Amino acid sequence: MTKPLPCIVVTAGEPAGIGPDLCIMLAAQPLDAQLVIIADTEMLQTRAKALGIPLNTVAYDANMRQQHLGNGSLTVLNQAVSQPVIASQLNADNSAYVLETLRTAAIGCVKSEFDAMVTAPVHKGIINDAGIAFSGHTEFLAELTHTAQVVMMLVSGHQANSMRVALATTHLALKDVPQAIQKTSLETTIRILHHDLVNKFGIQHPRILVAGLNPHAGEDGYLGREEIDVINPVLAKLRTEGMNLIGALPADTLFAKHHLKHADAVLAMYHDQGLPVLKHASFGEGVNVTLGLPIIRTSVDHGTALDLAGTGKIEIGSLLAAIELAIQLTKNKPSSAV
């Protein structure tokens, strides 16, 4: 008996950004999956007209499942915006809509109606302007699924030569980072990273490079003590369990080719220690994946690109890579029905 294709749900993200444009472009992309877009159908049609792309939308029906053929048609689970959308113009009145698309997708994944969710970019600032505290999908989905700790990892798009960069802290002001690097949370981060590399990415004995926090990994304590007091003791403890952890390494040279050649993942201590390197190498083709969640969630490696919404001048590579990785992860799921 042939297995059904995985059902991937895509949230269209900030409606004034390029998320809707990306979803419309998906209509022409055949996939080895079923595809459901969560968005305001009328808003998608208006944007498609502006882009000059003919778009056929079919209302989502859980009982009518079919492969996404890329024949110009999109299956849409309609979620109404509060206010008409103007491309490039943020409107805080539509922030609740954005979060509702995420809730619908995540709950659908928890209930196994969907196999994985893929998110188009949201604008963190406008959601906060609406009076809703929001620092990112990663933190939002952790809270929604009652998961105490998750790990953000970005993967460069090229499978053969893939770089994976995970973060010990996520969307945090730089001044708050040192305080957030604590033994317990760092240990949990490494356990989640190690577990998911083994179980979700199929890497039997992952070799993980761990960055220090300070310049030159603290230079024996003369440039900061987090390596001596926190990071190295955690690495030593986890090594006794057989984990292959290298570090704490100076972050400036950790990303040199000779180091990366033999690494399955890098753990950076904070957002802008790790992500600029990965985005320099593969911006527009990378994937953001949330590890440690009870559901599969991947995302694009770029933001809302408000300057490009409705212009037709965007690249869809990262969204396609995010969908491909989501499909792959559904296949690696131990109890997967797909």
Ligand X SMILES: N[C@H](C(=O)O)[C@H](O)COP(=O)(O)O
Ligand Y SMILES: NC(=O)c1ccc[n+]([C@@H]2O[C@H](COP(=O)([O-])OP(=O)(O)OC[C@H]3O[C@@H](n4cnc5c(N)ncnc54)[C@H](O)[C@@H]3O)[C@@H](O)[C@H]2O)c1
271 near ligand Y, rule: CB under 6 A: no
Cβ proximity to ligand X: between 13 and 218 the closer is 13
Contacts 24+ apart (CB under 8 A), 249-257: 249/209, 249/210, 249/211, 249/212, 249/217, 250/211, 250/212, 250/215, 250/216, 250/217, 251/211, 251/212, 251/217, 252/215, 252/216, 254/209, 254/211
21-40 positions binding ligand X, by CB under 6 A:
none
Cβ proximity to ligand Y: between 267 and 289 the closer is 289
81-120 positions binding ligand Y, by CB under 6 A:
119
Cβ proximity to ligand X: between 98 and 245 the closer is 98
Nearest to 114 by CA among 334, 323, 321: 323
315 binds, among ligand X, ligand Y, none (CB under 5 to 8 A by kind): ligand Y
275 binds, among ligand Y, ligand X, none (CB under 5 to 8 A by kind): ligand X
- Matching residue, tokens 């993942």: 265
How, if at all, do strands 7-11 and 116-119 pair? parallel
Stretch binding ligand X (CB under 6 A), from 136-144, 196-204, 209-217, 314-322: 136-144
The burial class, CB within 10 Å (0-12 / 13-18 / 19+), for 71 is exposed
276 near ligand Y, rule: CB under 6 A: no
Residue 60's region, left for phi above 0, alpha for psi from -120 to 50, else beta, is beta
Cβ proximity to ligand Y: between 104 and 119 the closer is 119
The burial class, CB within 10 Å (0-12 / 13-18 / 19+), for 89 is exposed
Cβ proximity to ligand X: between 75 and 299 the closer is 299
When binding is defined by CB under 6 A, the residue of 87, 314, 320, 323 that contacts ligand Y is 314
- The pair phi, psi for residue 55, each rounded to 5°, is -135, 125
308 binds, among ligand X, ligand Y, none (CB under 5 to 8 A by kind): ligand Y
Cβ proximity to ligand Y: between 23 and 314 the closer is 314
304 near ligand X, rule: CB under 6 A: no
Other C-beta atoms closer than 10 Å to the C-beta of 260 total 17
When binding is defined by CB under 6 A, the residue of 288, 304, 318, 330 that contacts ligand X is 288
68 annotated as a binding-site residue: no
137 near ligand X, rule: CB under 6 A: yes
Q: Which residues are annotated as a binding site?
A: 137-138, 171, 216, 271, 279, 288, 297
Residues found near ligand X in the complex (CB under 6 A): 136-138, 271, 275, 288, 299, 301
Binding site as annotated, residues for substrate? 137-138, 279, 288, 297
Residues that bind ligand Y (CB under 6 A): 18, 119, 121-125, 137, 284, 288, 299-300, 302-305, 307-308, 314-315
Residues within the annotated binding site for a divalent metal cation? 171, 216, 271
